[in-house]
Amino acid sequence: MLSAIANTFRNCFKIPELKSRIIFTLAVLAICRLEALIRIPGLDGAALAEYFRSNAARSGGSLLGMYSMFTGGGLEHCAVGALGIMPYISATIIIQLLTAVVPTLSKLTREEGGRAKMIQYGRYLTVVLCLGQGLVMAIGWENPEKIFGPGIGKLVLYDSILWYRIQTVLILTTGTLLMMWLGEQITERGIGNGVSLIITIGILARLPQAGQALWYMFAPAGGGEAKFNIGHVIALVLLLAGVIAGVIAVTQAQRKIPVQYAQRAVGRKVYSGGSSFLPLRVNYAGVMPVIFAQAILMFPQLLFTNLGKIFNVKFFNQIATKLAYGSFWYVVLYGLMILFFSYFWVATQFNELQIADDLKKNGGYIPGVRPGQATSNFLHNSMHRITLAGAIFLTVIAVIPILLYVWLAVPQAVGTFFGGTSMLIMVGVLLDTMRQMESHLLMRHYDGFLKKGRLKGRF
């Protein structure tokens, strides 16, 4: 099996076009990694990076830890790419949600050239978000103990705070816009989705840190007693294999709704009928419900913690403790939010009325279901049922790193690769990239990654 995979990779470099695309993608991703390492002038990034390393267990499960993971460590290094590609993703999500609820934008997307305008609006919104988030991040670096926790020294080295803020905001905005442009270049001239690959390479940059933490689990520094034995090693390996297999299976799982097309005449041409299918993905929302739940659930704990400090009320401190990362109520609310946002995303993005109308206009129908409103109701009920299965799957995958951290004391840097957003993003992006590479291979009669056997017949 390994020899077949190695042979497939060799075949990738035998196709000139695919070879150039792969090299171009790797070169652009290397530039994106440099953005996460080049520090902003006037900031002591080494001090903040050291704080993150020494407090990895506490900061890994926080909102800042999750954001730093998506930026590939740019936040903790005070780097040019500290904002990462997240403002562009946030702008894209906002535009998609507005398209679903604003009729004018929904109509624009169906017009000729409407998609290009929506992409342009997303870029403008990205600039606005970068300026706002960049200013917030610059102010946060001015007061590191209030944002990251006690024990951090002064990070800003400039005397002029105004000049520091202007410079930092411009550098952070420029870094994100450069990443956005590089991601679009990968999508157009490289292989895979550029924005997704930038996030993935940032997550994979954590592998050395996770490997070091995993080594210290079984061989503690300073000659201490190890907390894990060979049974734990086997259990972790089996769990990792099971999670990867489950993510791949559910990511690609879909229900195929049969569609029959009747014979129809358009002008003097007569189009014969045929059969096809309408794929409904089990995990239609992807990783979005997990991201929404993580982002929102961090604010109540922060709010009640600050209220307890300000008013010195024991009740607020108790609520903050119950909502702490890894607590019982945190896990319960986390799972319920993932279920809610799974249905919310489907409700805003899956338009069964438009699908039923398009089928009716093209002479298509679902066998046993009347066209029009009946088809819309059928699609709604079908999507409602399979969304439940996908939401339960997302909940299980998202909770696994938390349970590993709480029950088995697995370091957060290691646990993030056993589930959660990291695993979902990496598997989804790698599968999409492998499909694109396979399409080039099959066109040249080579074996692909996802299918075995050469194409039969002569061409």
Buried-state track 375-385, b at ≥16 Cβ within 10 A, e below 16: bbebbbebbee
Of 50-54, 207-211, 393-397, which has the strongest mean pLDDT?
Answer: 393-397
| SS3 label, residue 369 | coil
> In angstroms, rounded to a whole number, what is the distance separating the alpha carbons of residues 54 and 321?
22
Task: Determine contact, residues 178/47, Cβ cutoff 8 Å.
Answer: no
Give the domain extent around 157: 1-205+419-454
Range 195-212 average pLDDT: 85
166 assigned to some structural domain: yes
Range 316-339 average pLDDT: 85
> In angstroms, rounded to a whole number, what is the distance separating the alpha carbons of residues 148 and 154?
12
> In angstroms, rounded to a whole number, what is the distance separating the alpha carbons of residues 58 and 128?
31
Q: What pLDDT is recorded for position 2?
A: 64
124 assigned to some structural domain: yes
pLDDT tens figures, 114-155: 888 888 999 999 999 999 989 988 888 888 877 776 777 788
Q: How many domains does the chain have?
A: 1
Residue 50 to residues 77, 245, 443, Cα–Cα distance (Å)? 9, 35, 49
Task: Determine contact, residues 45/398, Cβ cutoff 8 Å.
Answer: no
Task: Determine contact, residues 94/171, Cβ cutoff 8 Å.
Answer: no
> In angstroms, rounded to a whole number, what is the distance separating the alpha carbons of residues 286 and 104?
27
Which CATH number fits the domain that encloses residue 196? 1.10.3370.10
Higher-confidence residue of 292 and 83: namely 83
Other CB atoms within 10 Å distance of the CB of residue 349: 14
pLDDT tens figures, 105-116: 888 887 878 888
Query: In sequence order, what E strands does 282-395 have?
Result: 364-365
402 assigned to some structural domain: no
406 assigned to some structural domain: no
- Any residues with CB less than 8 A from the CB of 402 and at least 6 apart, and which? 61, 325, 326, 330, 331, 334, 415
For the purposes of burial, counting CB atoms within 10 Å of the CB of 40, is it exposed (0-12), middle (13-18) or buried (19 or more)?
buried
Residue 459 has pLDDT above 60, yes or no: no
238 assigned to some structural domain: no
Of 43-52, 381-390, 430-439, which has the strongest mean pLDDT?
Answer: 381-390
Q: Taking Cα atoms as reference points, which of 181, 204, 85, 201 lies closest to residue 75?
A: 85
Q: What pLDDT is recorded for position 452?
A: 47
296 assigned to some structural domain: no
318 assigned to some structural domain: no
- Any residues with CB less than 8 A from the CB of 435 and at least 6 apart, and which? 450
> In angstroms, rounded to a whole number, what is the distance separating the alpha carbons of residues 185 and 22?
12
> In angstroms, rounded to a whole number, what is the distance separating the alpha carbons of residues 100 and 117?
16
Other CB atoms within 10 Å distance of the CB of residue 451: 11
Q: Taking Cα atoms as reference points, which of 385, 396, 299, 291 lies closest to residue 343?
A: 385
Other CB atoms within 10 Å distance of the CB of residue 64: 18
The two three-digit tokens of residue 42, written as one number: 């006037």
369 assigned to some structural domain: no
